[in-house]
Structure 1
Amino acid sequence: MTDTPLDAETLLGEAHEPFEAALSDPTAGPLAVVGDPYGGRETVLDRAETRLDATRVRLDQNTGADAVEAALGDGPLVVDDCHQLYTRSVGGFEPLSSVLDALATADVPVVTGWNSYAWSYLDAVRDIETAFSTRTDVEGLSATQLLEFIRSKEASLPEFRRDELDEALLMTQEISLGSTGRTVSVPMPNREAIEARRADRPDPSDAVFERLADLSNGDPGTALALWKRHHDAEILRPSALEVPTTDETFDREAAFCLRIILATERVARSTLSDRIGDRFDRLLGRFTRAGFVTVSNGVVQLDPAAVPTVAKITERGRIL
């Protein structure tokens, strides 16, 4: 097993060269790196930190605008998880506004990291893109790149097989025996099934990782979490890979709560409780049972494997 980390060039694809050019331009102004939860955003910010020899500030529910503003005088700056700078409540945008005002007058390179769902919301309600000279999107990984990524994390891989086709290669047809009225069952080739097997179908391992890429949207953290659910399997077929699901239905308030979690990735339980109200404890219990979140030390964290399901629930409820 080789524990080779992902690099910014792989994650950014065609956006890599413009990103490097922006890092090289001392007059470029503040940069925004935008990516899905667990999509590799931190790796891109690692590159910026090394390239600029920058101070690094990581925001969470306990570290906010003051830490960013204090670090602005110390040379180049990289700030993780800037979506922690606001809450969807009255007065909840003040820390964000304070930081954006400070960035507008900064005379040092600043690179910031943003959750893509938070960015979409903030661009709709605060036109946040105008505060940054450059926006770089983390593209995620292809099926081939995910295969190499998983190989770097696992000592061995299972045997890959295609999903079985339902149609048999042979079928039976009743043949009439002249005027006797009798019939006999005769085996005949099932031409449709034979053609399906002759079609240009991917190699079993390609099929598995194409499905993994499709389920995870190419986000390496989500893909790894989905993989870990099957890492002990001796044989793995594409259909075995599934995101967490639940038979429960979620109303608009539940979807709104999930959207907050999706856009923050981790959030203080007290913040959610204050925002949602009396129903919160019951909602959190449902989310935990469904495998959408984990709760530790008063912090609610989005489970990487659940990102696709949670995103669909919030989009179905048309929650921005």
Structure 2
Amino acid sequence: MKKSLIALAVLAASGAAMAQSSVTLFGIVDTGVSYVNNAAGDVNKYGVHSSGNQTSRLGLRGTEDLGGGLKAGFWLEGEIFGDNGNASGLDFKRESTVRLSGNFGEVRLGRETTPTFRAGLKYDLFGATGIGQNMGYKAWSTVGGAYGADDNTIRANNMVSYSSPNMGGFTGNISYAFDEKQGANNVGRYIGGNVGYDNGPLSVTAAYGTLAGATNGDRDEYSVGAGYNFGVAKVVGLAQQIKYKPSVGSNAKFTNYLLGVSAPVGGVGEVKAQYAFYDQQGDAKAHQVSLGYVHNLSKRTALYGTVAYLKNQKGSQMSLNAKGVNNSVDTRTNLSGLTTGANQTGVQVGIRHAF
């Protein structure tokens, strides 16, 4: 009898401990068919794409309740490709962090998205995926690899981040990524932060970050975004400027603007339209117009369609990004001898399932 009581007590204690901890397997599989014209070589490209509406991913996350409002956790997340089954193998480059949170906010250590990218992502109606996405956060530098593996500042390795608690709608984040002496001039070191206000229908966020490079000096980035949900429609806007400050030669500046509107349809769908303008170094400019519709079949499954048009002007050579199908543009020389990327039109249809 005593042995039975002891066994029950052990099981009860074990159950209580397990109840304080949790580990979750999660992911998204997003696959469809894309068509893009005027790709490199003056060809039309079409085929099966990955991540047309949301980035396909597989991950593990977990938390442990330490008591007194203190929690420990981890997040491991890697991208998967529905079109070829991840030919290069799964890694955790989307996020690999350990974290500690409480009334003071949250501290994270590892690889994750930067505060500058997270600030702009809030106002991209296409969620930084597919042919409709805002492309302002690309690596604009013409010197490949001058800033390390993450020239676009979307993510950073070796980062320590602090996020404040929500204080009446106000939040803030500050992050520092160590260069760990990977090269000269602190190449790969990132420092950035954002402050935001999200309360009811209104959202406003400002961000700043700087990434140290080798021969190209620092890459400084500033952005401010805002959105307002009127119920019948949501309007968003974003302004972003990126400056390269080389130790030799003149600075380079890239200024990008975004304006978008989305509206619910019948309680199960969403229609969205977005315009982006990319004012590049010199006179190069590009205009992007994107239209999309998402139809939710359930809370986890949706069908989607996107149409986008990209117009390159005066030396711009941007291209629509249909992952797994196209990320290039045909270049042509005009009468004045200037090489410019061709205009592009793209179409994507697909299905997204979350688990």
- More strand per residue: 1 or 2? 2
TM exceeding 0.5: no
Shorter chain as denominator, the TM-score bin is under 0.3
Structure number with greater Rg is 1
- More helix per residue: 1 or 2? 1
Higher relative contact order (CA 8 A, sep 6+): 1
TM-score by length of structure 2 reads 0.21
TM-score by length of structure 1 reads 0.22
